[in-house]
Structure 1
Amino acid sequence: MDLRCYVYPGWEPRIRAASPRRDWMDATPERFAYRCLPLNIANAHGWEILSPCGFEAEWNGGAAPSDVEVRPDPGTPAHRAPVPLFGQGTVTFHVEGIMRTPPGFNLWVGGSPNHAKDGIAPLGGVIETDWSPFSFTMNWRFTRPNQVVRFEENEPFCFFFPVERHLVESVEPRILAIDEEPELKRQFEEWSRSRDAFHVEVAANPPANPSAKWQKFYYRGLKSDGCPGAGDHQSKLRLAEFDGAAAFHRETPDRPAAPSSRPEPPAAERPAKDRLGAKYEWILTSKERLQALAPRAILRKRGISAEEFLAQHYAANQPVILDGELADWSALDRWTPDYLKHLIGSREIEVQGDRSSDPDFERNMTSHRRTMPFDAFIDRIIAEGDGNDLYLTAYNSAANAATLELLHQDLGFLDKLLTREGGTAHGMPWIGSANSFTPLHHDLTNNLLLQITGRKRVLLVAPDVTPHLYNDHHVYSRIRDLAEPGIVERFPALEGIHVHQVMLEPGDALFVPLGWWHQVTALDFSVTFTHTNFRWPNDFYANHPE
């Protein structure tokens, strides 16, 4: 199905496929809210438009438009700010786009599901976008007066998805006695008995693994007897991003993005480029500017063949998120901190310590290594959230090889892409608390990041813009964190570069090609494995210039 958004010159709609994540769901004990699959699916069942600015708004209780005051953040262009257009305690966002659906399909438009804001509520609408030549607005209505409401820049203000126009009118709803469907009655009663028995067992013998505290029949698409409920059952939604939308996104609010106006860094800050011939420099600069007109999005793909991966990504030097490749790995369900602690026990491991106290940690990493029992390591990072002060990283893989063999029993292997030859066939682990952070750098090999437990945010920048990234030491940048407030003021050559943002969920595999700059932040307790043992040549280090 084709869904299009037409933009006028100057329109920059920040559209993205909706995320299943919600802050309040993250905050529930053991994140149990995510056990409700209908919530997850609803959260991701459409696309979101993000606010182009931060602002506060307040309503005094009156019916006139002037009874709502909107206070945009300093520096906000007037045409980007929402306005009190209609009165009745409403705030209006202008949607910079004319949507087009195929004949017979409308757009349902409203607020993001399960995302409440105190004091204000989204108004929903259904729009015939298969013929309408008009843009539309998204409106929110205050629920009480004298309440200051704030929207942050890049906070979703609009959520939409297509619906077939006459489908709901063709429905013939009925109420029937359950005895008219004996098989349905039998299945329901069987499930009800099994659920009651399960709850009794859990109360009597609480399981150590949080995922064992719920039955998962519906989540896995199974009936209570283990038979499949539907062949096309969905436990995740993976919506395509709007082609071309990446050009309008601002992953870092403090970084204005205007690719055509990006300044050349001073000559002293681009030594590698200065060593090139004048014509070669012109070619590289022109190529960079052309690519900035429409940066290639990082796609999410399912069921990709080895041949497609080689041609479209490995040889093309193009990142990709591989979805579903780890679906059968038992580690995805088992690997809680308690499970790992009891599996490895008190075996001594080597970790990195005191990373945050040393701004030049990457240059001095060997001096920060220490040993400690694995169970003590887990207890400490869970209790204290040590972030970068205590982190088991790929740098410690060789020292921990024997201990980490115990983890391999829960891991599968991607024979389609990887070779079992060599000493790192099972990959190099990264185990740490929330806020563990790997600063901006590029690698000298192609890498495959397998996210097993927790979530990570990865920012990536293409190799073509290396001259703008202050690369003054080996594979590291003077810039540690591209998302740091005011980073462009400190490093002006960054202005306008395109930064890709990827959210890694458990079971995702991210291919990071050689030379791609990236920084990684753990959002939860996290376990990641990095692989470099691809089936194809990956030994380019010898030709790398310092």
Structure 2
Amino acid sequence: MTGQHVLNEISQAIAETRDLTVTDLSDDVLASDQPLVIRGLAADWPAVKHGRESVDRVIEYLQGFDSDNVVTALHAPPEAAGRIFYNEDMTAFNFEYRRIALKEAMQQVRSHIDLPSPPSLYIGSTNVDHWLPGFREQNDIPIQHLAPLVSIWIGNQSRVSAHYDFPSNIACVVAGHRRVILFPPEQLPNLYVGPLDFTPAGQPISLVDFCAPDYDRFPKFREAIKSAQMAVLEPGDALIVPSMWWHHMEALDAFNVLVNYWWRSSPSYMGPPLSVLQHAMLGLRDLPEAQREQWRELFDFYVFNPQKDNFEHIPEAARGVLNPIDEQSARQIRKMLRDKLL
């Protein structure tokens, strides 16, 4: 049975406020494990003001910062209806990558505005400081102490399936509107996530079509919907997405721009957790059940539930990786892993 768009089944709105400005973003707000819509956070950005005025004005404004570097854009045919996804048998994607100048890409999107069923052009996660130097001098959130990676996303109507990001995230809408549907991390079993190593844009995604969910194929998705939260963001609005929350993003207008800030709550020299998962699949997943359970105990003891007194019987100078990880020990661990994996 195929259902209607899940928006008709979601009853919970993402919590929101209109009382925060860019100078009010305390570390407590940014470190929350719950999502938050901040209405008007970026409303004073010149880019947002141009975006509210017209598509041509915001394109002209963005082109004023263009560094003439080529970007990678995703191009999908009209029949994809904006969905960035796989082909029917999941042997490839339903789009192709194109290398194109940013100015040309924006003009292509502009030329499709009046088409009833345009092809999709999607420029995702493009580093602002590299491709639009100077943009942040006029349009920014002052969270430099978090060393964020700041990216811009440009395109026409698009649907990016539910996925998670390890870094925390503030997403600011510059032009167009965005529908966002969020799920807490524990909904993983109900989202029917696709491959880990063959993904449209780097992160594993839900295989459920949110516009027409197939409940015969994905019956547990009904459980996920019970925990879903939704919001529609306007130009100037921002959304805090905590680490590991699943987020389904829809760009609703004929021209859309979003700027987002990713940051880690751990030092940058720490390794990516997904690599741990992949290595565990290589070394642990297919062991006999009894051995997996024994390794579960080790992981709990050393990683997930380490107690302060676990290692007091070892002289501190001899604890090695059992001590808190610093940048030097992180380099040593990486070298050790490289040597063992060769």
TM-score band w.r.t. shorter chain: 0.5 to 0.7
Q: Describe the superposition over 1:88-114 as per-residue Cα deviations: whole angstroms up to 9, x where unpaired.
A: xxxxxxxxxxxxxxxxxxxxxxxxxxx
Q: Describe the superposition over 1:347-399 as per-residue Cα deviations: whole angstroms up to 9, x where unpaired.
A: 3531323346784389978x9443333333222212225867322110x43xx
**Is 2:164 the partner of 1:419?**
no
Q: Is the 8 A contact 2:158 2:250 kept in 1?
A: yes
Q: CA deviation at 1:468?
A: 0.9
363 and 324 in structure 1: CA distance in 2 versus 1, 3 angstrom threshold? farther
Higher helix share: 2
**Is 2:243 the partner of 1:518?**
no
Equivalence for 2:273: 543
Equivalence for 2:42: 326
Q: Is the 8 A contact 1:428 1:529 kept in 2?
A: yes
Q: Is the 8 A contact 2:160 2:250 kept in 1?
A: yes
**Is 2:122 the partner of 1:391?**
yes
The higher-RCO structure (CA 8 Å, 6+ apart) is: 2
Match of 1:429 among 146, 152, 155: 152
Give the distance between the partners of 1:421 and 1:310, measured in 2 at CA. 9
Give the distance between the partners of 1:315 and 1:537, measured in 2 at CA. 12
Computing the radius of gyration over CA atoms, which structure comes out larger, 1 or 2? Answer: 1
Unaligned runs of 5+ in 1: 1-152, 154-249, 258-294
Give the distance between the partners of 1:490 and 1:298, measured in 2 at CA. 28
Q: Is the 8 A contact 1:387 1:437 kept in 2?
A: no
Q: Describe the superposition over 1:187-228 as per-residue Cα deviations: whole angstroms up to 9, x where unpaired.
A: xxxxxxxxxxxxxxxxxxxxxxxxxxxxxxxxxxxxxxxxxx
Give the distance between the partners of 2:47 and 2:91, measured in 1 at CA. 33
**Is 2:105 the partner of 1:377?**
yes
Give the distance between the partners of 1:429 and 1:461, measured in 2 at CA. 23
TM-score (norm 2): 0.60
Equivalence for 1:339: 57
478 and 320 in structure 1: CA distance in 2 versus 1, 3 angstrom threshold? closer
Give the distance between the partners of 1:324 and 1:454, measured in 2 at CA. 14
**Is 2:177 the partner of 1:448?**
no
Structure 2 counterparts to residues 68-79 of structure 1, below 5 A: none
Q: CA deviation at 1:406?
A: 4.7
**Is 2:229 the partner of 1:504?**
no
Q: SS state of the match for residue 377, structure 1?
A: helix
318 and 512 in structure 1: CA distance in 2 versus 1, 3 angstrom threshold? same
TM-score (norm 1): 0.39
Q: Is the 8 A contact 1:429 1:529 kept in 2?
A: yes
Q: CA deviation at 1:454?
A: 1.2
319 and 441 in structure 1: CA distance in 2 versus 1, 3 angstrom threshold? same
Q: Describe the superposition over 1:274-300 as per-residue Cα deviations: whole angstroms up to 9, x where unpaired.
A: xxxxxxxxxxxxxxxxxxxxx975211
Q: SS state of the match for residue 381, structure 1?
A: helix
Match of 2:86 among 335, 349, 360: 360
Unaligned runs of 5+ in 2: 197-202, 279-342
Equivalence for 1:408: 136
Q: RMSD of the TM alignment (CA)?
A: 3.7
Q: Describe the superposition over 1:50-78 as per-residue Cα deviations: whole angstroms up to 9, x where unpaired.
A: xxxxxxxxxxxxxxxxxxxxxxxxxxxxx
Give the distance between the partners of 1:330 and 1:406, measured in 2 at CA. 13
Give the distance between the partners of 1:422 and 1:526, measured in 2 at CA. 26
Q: Describe the superposition over 1:391-446 as per-residue Cα deviations: whole angstroms up to 9, x where unpaired.
A: 2110x43xx744311533541x322xx2167583xx2000111x122122111111
**Is 2:257 the partner of 1:527?**
yes
Q: SS state of the match for residue 495, structure 1?
A: helix
Give the distance between the partners of 2:118 and 2:147, measured in 1 at CA. 31
Structure 2 counterparts to residues 178-193 of structure 1, below 5 A: none
Amino acid corresponding to residue 221 of structure 2 in structure 1? L
296 and 490 in structure 1: CA distance in 2 versus 1, 3 angstrom threshold? same
Give the distance between the partners of 1:388 and 1:451, measured in 2 at CA. 22
Q: CA deviation at 1:503?
A: 0.3
Q: Is the 8 A contact 1:445 1:538 kept in 2?
A: no
Give the distance between the partners of 2:193 and 2:154, measured in 1 at CA. 27
Give the distance between the partners of 2:230 and 2:91, measured in 1 at CA. 26
Q: SS state of the match for residue 324, structure 1?
A: coil
